[in-house]
Structure 1
Amino acid sequence: MFGARTLNRHAALMNRMAETLGVDLTEAMAKGRLSSEGWREAVVRCAGCDDPSACLHWLSEQPAPEDQAGAVDEAPHYCNNKLMMARLREELGLAETDAGGRV
């Protein structure tokens, strides 16, 4: 398995990716869109990446989340959490406009 240092590094990397994509992981958890187990699994998927330097490079080319007019549309094709991030973007967008009060 992975050591604490590796998992912490990838948790930070995953959070930066989420911010770049406009995904608020804290909000996703609060709204029941992402469980704590799902978050842990995502960190492990990130830690299992074959080339985290490609992710670091990609993120370095993106504007800081607070400087963006809009979030980047999708994670790079090699991101192990690309599908999860896309799902959360969609679900959080739906949750904001769902008139039925669904969360």
Structure 2
Amino acid sequence: MPETATFRRHAVLVDRMANAIGIDLEEKVMEGQLDFNGVSDAVLNCTGCCCTGACEIWLEAFAGGADAPPPICRNRELFERLKAGKRA
């Protein structure tokens, strides 16, 4: 099982990715479009990624915003549903 530091790192990556594509995860939770388990699942899903370095490079390159997450993102489908206004 991943360590606490790993969970924290990936929680930051999930939040940064969501923000980069214009999604406020806290707002989505308050709107009922996503629950806390969904956020936890996204972080856990992210911990299984072997491309965190590439993710961080992408996040730096698209700090000003992007339309969609990169194809390597393990949470791409989740983010696309949230961006489309669908419940995750």
Query: Structures share a fold, TM > 0.5?
Result: yes
Q: Give TM-score, length-normalised by structure 2.
A: 0.92
RMSD: 1.2
Select which of 65, 83, 88 maps to 1:89.
Answer: 83
Matched residue pairs, number? 86
Amino acid of the residue matched to residue 38 of structure 2? G
Q: Give TM-score, length-normalised by structure 1.
A: 0.79
- Which portions of structure 1, spanning 4 or more consecutive aligned residues, are displaced by more than 6 angstroms? none
Using the TM superposition, give the Cα deviation of residue 63 of structure 1 relative to its aligned residue in structure 2, in angstroms.
2.9
Using the TM superposition, give the Cα deviation of residue 72 of structure 1 relative to its aligned residue in structure 2, in angstroms.
1.1
**Identity across the alignment (%):** 36
Q: Tell me the distance in 1 between the aligned counterparts of 2:63 and 2:40.
A: 27
Q: Tell me the distance in 1 between the aligned counterparts of 2:60 and 2:68.
A: 15
Q: Tell me the distance in 1 between the aligned counterparts of 2:63 and 2:6.
A: 25
Q: Deviations over 1:46-65 (max 9, x none)?
A: 1110111010011111134x
Q: Which residue is 1:17 aligned to?
A: 17
Q: Which residue is 1:52 aligned to?
A: 52
Amino acid of the residue matched to residue 45 of structure 2? R
Q: Which residue is 1:27 aligned to?
A: 27
Q: Which runs of 5+ in 1 are unaligned?
A: 65-70, 93-103
Bigger Rg over Cα: 1
Q: Which residue is 1:72 aligned to?
A: 66
